Structure 1
């Protein structure tokens, strides 16, 4: 048998398969799915799924793992690592987070908001605070009958009522209704936005500004049409807007102060 050459076990560098790098699916990372040609930025990452949004606002979900390209090179997308907190834990509203706290028995006082979307947004950002304080938030589905609703509630010192109204600006229908509510145990405050959707900062939902909807046209439907979004406003609210709100920093200051004011009011004995 001829002697073995010392070069017999060498492998040409081009034949060695390099490992595909892992890349964390951080928000706004631009990713391509080469199998479909879909290119989009990461908008959120769930347990095993990454959601990408293209420049037309279309969102697709993909399983985390191999099969993606970033900057023209194959990568394995993995869930982002959670950074260790560097200070006291904060709730979504920015308040100190009380770990393992039991919800307080509900107070007799209440906070009323105009609709279901308003209630869901308040719950998502201030839910921790509300449970600690025992405050219940209920939707009114409109404020046209607000004076009668307040009268029926019968606010008292230990049973205060706070109301959050949309589009509370001088000369509006809402302002005229709010002016009818008097009494030291009732408080009506509002924000200037036509709808609670506008209280979410535009950049949070991937737009430059909320569209101006012509007068007389339903506002939510007009927004969806102008942005090319789905015509199901419930879906749009849940998936395109509320799902992207993570904390108070995603909301306009004109709403933040009013909600905090109402919580303070109804929790004052």
Structure 2
């Protein structure tokens, strides 16, 4: 006979035999500028930029703003229900006086609103593919914070020679979107033909015009006037390192990747391509 542990009902009923209902405590969180919360009804996530007696204004990572009423337990803060309240006025509690203007929300390396005390979201089924490890490293440096907020995983392909087969194996669907970042996406290139072959309702291919993702880093960021011209038929990274005296491509990679600290170090075509991919793979999950 199996031994079963008896249930412990202590505290579940009051003296009259009526079941005790315990209400969960919902914390009140001061809506300080920059505080990041989510409206669970719409899925809108953003930082507090304004608050009054009735409403709070949130700004998402794209600069979009929405106004929400201040209702009890109406928001999610760090994944749990919370009630937003107006912060104490300057000088309250003996903290001093003055009318200093609140600082704007902190920004991540991509320029989006920085989520304080971030706990990474469970990874989505959607993915972003990039051509190689250097592309993945750049995305992590600049968009890593955003990707963890959104629960998006970036995977290097190590080339796009058999892209169609890889996409078929992945099996894109409405809940399993796929974004692909491709180098040298220009008219007439093999990359453009491969992209056209796999693009669909659930697959978005974006890219930049540069031969290699290194070239999408602004020359000034790595201390050069311009990227050197590499003869056709020569490996681009090898040719660059030879022309600049950087040693082997591995040495050049450390120099280039180490020079990037934010989106300001990247050329606009790469920034736009990555932002479109993040929007695409997360759109199916937004309210």
Same fold by TM-score, threshold 0.5 exceeded? yes
Q: CA deviation at 1:86?
A: 4.8
Rounded Cα–Cα distance in structure 2 between residues aligned with 1:103 and 1:235: 32
Q: Residues 218-237 of structure 1, C-alpha deviation per residue, up to 9 Å, x if partnerless?
A: 10000000111112x12221
Rounded Cα–Cα distance in structure 1 between residues aligned with 2:221 and 2:195: 31
Rounded Cα–Cα distance in structure 2 between residues aligned with 1:225 and 1:182: 37
Cα RMSD, aligned residues only: 1.1
Q: CA deviation at 1:179?
A: 1.2
Rounded Cα–Cα distance in structure 2 between residues aligned with 1:209 and 1:159: 40
Query: What does residue range 185-224 of structure 1 map to in structure 2 within 5 Å?
Result: 185-224=202-241
Q: Which residue in the other structure is 2:52 paired with?
A: none
The question of 1:258 aligning with 2:253 is answered no
Rounded Cα–Cα distance in structure 2 between residues aligned with 1:199 and 1:236: 14
The question of 1:95 aligning with 2:112 is answered yes
Rounded Cα–Cα distance in structure 1 between residues aligned with 2:129 and 2:280: 13
Q: Which residue in the other structure is 2:160 paired with?
A: 143
Rounded Cα–Cα distance in structure 2 between residues aligned with 1:235 and 1:89: 33
- Give runs of ≥4 in structure 1 deviating > 6 Å: none
When the two structures are aligned, how many residues end up with a matched partner? Answer: 183
Checking the alignment, whether the CA contact within 8 Å between 2:199 and 2:205 is kept in structure 1 is no
Equivalent position to 2:144, from 127, 147, 156:
127
Name the SS for the 2:206 alignment partner: strand
Give the TM-score taking structure 2 as reference length: 0.63
Unpaired stretches in structure 2, ≥5 consecutive residues: 1-101
Equivalent position to 1:112, from 122, 129, 140:
129
Q: CA deviation at 1:87?
A: 3.0
Unpaired stretches in structure 1, ≥5 consecutive residues: 1-84
Rounded Cα–Cα distance in structure 2 between residues aligned with 1:214 and 1:101: 46
Q: CA deviation at 1:176?
A: 1.1
Q: Which residue in the other structure is 2:256 paired with?
A: 241
Q: Residues 83-113 of structure 1, C-alpha deviation per residue, up to 9 Å, x if partnerless?
A: xx95321000000101101100000000000
Give the TM-score taking structure 1 as reference length: 0.67
Q: CA deviation at 1:127?
A: 0.2
Name the SS for the 1:265 alignment partner: helix
